[in-house]
């Protein structure tokens, strides 16, 4: 079946540091890939997505590239802010079933 593996947290960074959260997936065919973010006290919200190989999703300074050859969708941001402190979830979906399969989440804490 489909599965998503992402690095365990917490990840603690200083402001303006570079952030990478690794995500790899197992799925047949060509899933769509997503990053969701959950800020403290809020519901999960879509951060970015990519629907085919080599697509790059980007939003709020975050980027992730769909790498079919390595089955990866790593999330990056060049200069984090305290407001980026949140839990980040990598996820995939395929047309059949229309369900999101999530990774375990990575908590990121950015210190001033």
Contact residues toward another protein (CB under 8 A) are 4, 32, 36, 41-46, 89, 91, 93-95, 97-105
Closest CB to another protein among 23 and 80? 23
CB of 110 to another protein, least distance (A): 21
DSSP of 23-88, one letter per residue?
Answer: EEEE-SS--EEEEEEE-TTS--EEEEEE-STT-EEEETTEEEE-BTTTTB--EEESS--GGG-EEE
Closest to another protein by CB, 78 vs 104, is 104
Nearest approach in angstroms of CB 103 to another protein is 6
Of the pair 14, 53, the CB lying nearest another protein is at 53
CB of 78 to another protein, least distance (A): 25
Distance of closest approach, residue 24 Cβ to another protein, in angstroms: 14
Q: Are 32 and 49 in contact (CB under 8 A)?
A: yes
């Amino acid at each position: 079946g489909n599965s998503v593996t992402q690095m365990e947290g917490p990840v603690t960074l200083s402001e303006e540091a570079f952030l990478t959260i690794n995500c790899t997936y197992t799925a047949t065919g060509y899933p769509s890939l997503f990053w969701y973010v959950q800020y403290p006290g809020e519901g999960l919200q879509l951060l970015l997505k990519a629907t085919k190989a080599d697509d790059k999703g980007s939003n709020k300074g975050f980027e992730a590239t769909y790498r079919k050859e390595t089955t990866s969708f790593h999330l990056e941001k060049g200069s984090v802010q305290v407001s980026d402190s949140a839990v980040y979830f990598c996820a995939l979906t395929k047309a059949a079933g229309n369900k999101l399969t999530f990774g375990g989440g990575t908590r990121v804490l950015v210190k001033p």
